Structure 1
Amino acid sequence: MPRKKSNPAPETGKVLKAATSQPTLTSLRGVSGWREATAWLRARGIEDVECITPDLAGVPRGKMMPSSKFTSNTSLALPSALYRHTISGEYPEETDTFRYEPRDSDLKLMPDLSTLSVVPWETDPTAQVICDIIDTNGKAVSYTPRNVLKNVVRLYNERGWKPVVAPEIEFYLVAKNDDPDYPLHPPKGRSGRSILGGQGYSIAGINEFDELIDDIYHFSEKQGLEIDTLIHEEGPAQLEINLRHGDPVELADQVFLFKRTIREAAMKHGIYATFMAKPMQGQPGSAMHIHQSVVNIETRKNIFSNPDGSASKAFFHFIGGMQTYVPKTLAMMAPYVNSYRRLTPDMSAPVNNAWGYDNRTTAFRVPVSDAAARRVENRLPSSDANPYLALAASLGCGLLGILNEVEPEPPTEDTANEGSIDLPRGLLEAVSLLESEPALAEVFSPEFIGIYAGVKRGEFETFMQVISPWEREFLLLNV
């Protein structure tokens, strides 16, 4: 990611000016070591540092401390149970494959200093850094999301390849809602009226929230995050942010931070930003489309294209792997009961595992491009997915296709969303498929799959305790 120079605050200007011979101190994002981290924090007058890491849901967890303590070789720890609770905070019952660590021992936070950046919405000078999780012996903990993705990238690297991704994240702006029994509805824009649906690519729709969008851009720039484009989607007050292509771990980090950034910007304007897959009945869901390609590390050439520009065997095998394995990893891309409300016919989301050239009705779309940019877009993940796990699942399925030389079905020329649904119809079915495929355990680790499946089943059981309005409406007096 290109380094950008920040405008120094008046009280730190002298320090920054004196440090212009050291580009790292003027960078918006990342340093190369602890000595530079100390200077970077001092140059900005940073008082506190947030050490954060994604849990299974992608929620930021961690610790905050004074910057002096952060740079003093302090040992940071979290309990292992943090990766075994549900989105609602419950701890599921143990099973044969889902077990709690007997002592709930410590896991260590290892700051990745390449992610160090400011927290622009805080009133006091604050920085943040994303951390990896290691055990007390210094070994990477296999079931934590960032490590799951890193392991998939490593499998590519061992074969001389580097995966490249570009995520697109959709989300809704909604009016504040302090009672979960009431449906969500769009907020009022600058016109004083709630925006309606059917505003795809509307500039006026974006302008309704131009001050909020300005803050999103401002907060992002301060963190060294780069937005490629921003559009209004089909739903009322539904927006989409596209990110520039790059390294999967770096892009997952950006999505992780973007979600936090967008929520904070919305809260500043008295509204919510939600990444629920299906927040409003009768409206389109929110996706996290993932564009994927693979380059040869040595030649830097796209392995999806032959020297003559034609599509390579690796390209077709990657698609074959997606068709074969993505339905079995859907629980990592559609992780909640609500996610499957998005994956329904006639709601602008694929309900198949077909592929096609420039065909948005397929799960796997091949956009129009030249040979160097040949790529596959996975249109199944929803925006509620943990970005680390969604990217790991998608890339892992493609890799299995290449390694096993899986041949894809013929491309779909017409609409692919007519007829039967070719995907799991609910969370429990998706979790069972994830557990049933031995090849996935080799890619993601048996421990991760056991823990993840246990947490998802726990979330489903919690959901089943809730009586919905539909049940009160149609069952109360009719059965």
Structure 2
Amino acid sequence: MDAHTKPERAIKTVEDAIRLVEASGLTHIKVGLSDIDGILRGKYLRKDKFLGALRSGFAFCNVVLGWDADDQMYDNTKYTGWHTAYPDAMVRIVPETCRRLPLEQGNGEDMLFFLAEFVGDAEAICPRGLLQRVLKRATDMGFEASAALEYEFFMFEETPHSVREKNYRDLKNWTPGNFGYSVLRSTVEGDFYRQLLDMCEQMDMPIEGLHTETGPGVLEAALAVDGASDMADKAILFKTFTKALAQKNNLMATFMAKWSHDHPGQSGHIHLSLREASTGKSAFYDESRPYNMSARQASFMAGVQRYLPEFMSMFAQTVNSYSRLVPGYWAPLDATWGVENRTTALRLIPGSEKSQRVEVRIGSADANPYIALAAALGAGLHGIEQGLDPGEIVQGNAYTQEFPAHLKLPCTLWESAQRLRQSQAAKTLFGEPFVEHFAATREWEERQFRRHVTDWELARYFEII
């Protein structure tokens, strides 16, 4: 049965979800939601508790918006912190996100899983809520937004225990050497490829293209285009359950932006397009203009270009993200644009009325998909509102060219957080509570890094200095 025709994927309302759950033989239902870093946090709810939560929501400790990837509580945020005593916040289950989990069974049937989002006061800083606000802006402007995300991730013959025992050194890659687009590798390791492709089909997050990239054990998966809200949901599910599938095969997948200085970083490219809600026609396509780029697409791209330096922390959210942004490693360093140019931050992709789009290439694989999509879409919509024009097109290799200072991207997470704090456009698009909270969490992340002494520092300074 095709994923789109499965009963769980036909659910649109609370009543639909109640009927499906009541008919299920499961005793418990699984729910999950995104924390600030894009990590799915969740729990099992007993069926009667879950049915009540479907109707009226349920309480969830707001600490999941107030801690980092290591469950350490932020000490610099207003909404969450010890000063609040970490009360519960209300959560809404999103019925239309229902899926079966082929990796997990209960009472002889695949586990039911639903995504959720914070409501009430917490909605202002909830990553999924952030994207919904930006999408409402698109709707109010008469647009429907579509998106597709591409992820690169490295695979290892390791376990969560072994990587810790090895202190993350001398790890065994899934496959050796550089072998991009390898038919040999995908055939030899075909069992895992098939498991991944099948899982994604069953969970309605289909992979449009899957191949090896250049590097030992690295893959790239392109998720099939969908509405922007559904795409963000699919992206966070893809990252979570790809890692789960790998571990069930005694492998590990990492979506770190750059796990080794010996290899290129891992991207999370974002493809975006807009359609007119009233006509269904592309708002980006105009065959009478160069590159089929409509005036609105030009302004959209100009908006992303204009605000990319200010919104950088929403695309590159960890300290490690900035290790990827170095010359010569397929990651742009300036807010530039070009036509079919993979050395620029924005890649205009001319096509048909159906395929005309822009690719935001600055994002890394470690980014929270809700936050990164909200940043790209929000900036583009603001560009249309302001009637902005993109800067000069880049021809050739952007890495070897000099650009105006205002196009320079921040080089550290701390600098990026300061740029976001000072951005009036960010406050307008995303709300002051989110900007304040998110910037504070990025400052926390940078402070945690500065507390530690790296191997590089020891090797460089221990004896010589």
**Is TM (by shorter chain) over 0.5?**
yes
State the Cα deviation string for residues 381-418 of structure 1 (Å, max 9, x = none): 00100000000001111111111111111211111011
Letter in 1 for 2:293: A
> What is the CA-CA distance between 1:209 and the residue it aligns to?
2.6
Aligned mate of 2:369, from 367, 381, 387: 387
State the Cα deviation string for residues 144-165 of structure 1 (Å, max 9, x = none): 0001001001001001111111
Equivalent residues of 1:119, 1:127 under 8 A apart = yes
Cα 1:162–1:154 change in 2 (3 A) is same
Equivalent residues of 1:149, 1:388 under 8 A apart = yes
Aligned mate of 1:335, from 295, 309, 317: 317
SS in structure 1 of the partner of residue 151 of structure 2:
strand
Cα 1:97–1:420 change in 2 (3 A) is farther
TM-score, structure 1 as length reference = 0.88
Find the counterpart in structure 2 of residue 210 from structure 1.
190
Which runs of 5 or more residues in structure 2 are unaligned?
A: none
TM-score, structure 2 as length reference = 0.91
State the Cα deviation string for residues 40-67 of structure 1 (Å, max 9, x = none): 2355533321111101011111221122
CA RMSD of superposed structures (Å) = 2.2
SS in structure 2 of the partner of residue 178 of structure 1:
helix
Which runs of 5 or more residues in structure 1 are unaligned?
A: 6-25, 189-193
Distance 2:180 2:268 in 1: 17
Say whether 1:134 aligns with 2:116. no
Moved more, 399-408 or 412-421: 412-421
Matches within 5 A, 1:21-420: 26-73=6-53, 75-94=57-76, 102=84, 104-124=86-106, 125=109, 126-135=111-120, 141-176=123-158, 177-179=163-165, 181-183=167-169, 185-188=171-174, 194-197=175-178, 199-306=179-286, 308=288, 310-419=292-401
Moved more, 267-276 or 62-71: 62-71
State the Cα deviation string for residues 4-31 of structure 1 (Å, max 9, x = none): 44xxxxxxxxxxxxxxxxxxxx434251
Letter in 1 for 2:300: F
Distance 1:95 1:388 in 2: 20
Equivalent residues of 1:184, 1:279 under 8 A apart = no
State the Cα deviation string for residues 292-332 of structure 1 (Å, max 9, x = none): 11110001111122374642211111111111101211101
Higher-helix-fraction structure: 2
Cα 1:67–1:217 change in 2 (3 A) is farther
Letter in 1 for 2:176: I
Distance 1:331 1:155 in 2: 21
> What is the CA-CA distance between 1:207 and the residue it aligns to?
2.6
Distance 1:469 1:224 in 2: 42
Letter in 1 for 2:87: S
Letter in 1 for 2:47: S
Moved more, 60-69 or 423-432: 60-69
Distance 2:150 2:92 in 1: 28
Say whether 1:468 aligns with 2:449. no
> What is the CA-CA distance between 1:178 and the residue it aligns to?
2.1
Cα 1:399–1:469 change in 2 (3 A) is same
> What is the CA-CA distance between 1:450 and the residue it aligns to?
0.7
Equivalent residues of 1:166, 1:242 under 8 A apart = yes
Distance 2:186 2:42 in 1: 34
Distance 1:117 1:175 in 2: 29
